[in-house]
Amino acid sequence: MFNYTNEILKLFGSEVFKKNEEAISKNAQYSYHYAKNIIKDRFEKGEEAISKNAYYSYHYAKDVIKDRFEKGEEAISKDACYSYNYAKDVIKDRFEKGEEAISKNAYDFYLYAKNIIKDRFEKGEEAISKDAQYSYLYAKDAIKDRFEKGEEAISKDAQYSY
């Protein structure tokens, strides 16, 4: 697709795409790539389609807008990975809308507590407490203290219990 797009750009310039913006705007993937690679700016006509997809909402905010994309935050907030990355790369602070999803994924929970909150993240402690590796890492790197809720899981894993 992108080789074809680049060839069209070389032959006809970006004006050829202006005629197709209505069709492009209906698809999150094409809207994102059109904004990023062709117009190199926001593509407001395509933001409705982008906003329904966590992947493209996150990347649109990070790569195109370089700021929050509030229309896409609902979709982002349902995905732990994109919620964490949105907090880290775009907001550079807590993303409270995404904390519910983050709290259910041990890996993203650990990274969020360590790199964003830099302290306890109580909302997800119950879920992470069943994972020996991330309970150990959470205690060591995020709260820098005992994590009593996770000690049972840690005690059953030779790698993390000594």
pLDDT value at residue 20: 86
Per-residue confidence at 12, pLDDT binned at 50, 70, 90? low
Amino acid occupying residue 53: N
Q: Which one of 46, 62, 94 terminates a domain?
A: 94
The 10s digit of each residue's pLDDT in 116-133 is 999 999 999 998 999 999
Q: What is the mean pLDDT of residues 23-50?
A: 96
- Mean pLDDT for all residues in the chain: 92
Is 78 in the same domain as 23? yes
Give the chain's domain count.
2
Helix/strand number for the chain, H first, E second: 14, 0
Cβ–Cβ contacts within 10 Å for residue 1, how many?
A: 8
Is 86 in the same domain as 21? yes
CA atoms within 13 A on the CB side of 135: 23
Is 53 in the same domain as 114? no
Determine the structural domain holding residue 159 and report its residue range.
Answer: 103-162
pTM (2 d.p.): 0.88
Give φ, ψ of 98 to 5 degrees. -95, 0
Is 7 in the same domain as 33? yes
Q: What is the mean pLDDT of residues 148-160?
A: 96
Q: Is the pLDDT of residue 33 over 90?
A: yes
The 10s digit of each residue's pLDDT in 57-70 is 999 999 999 999 99
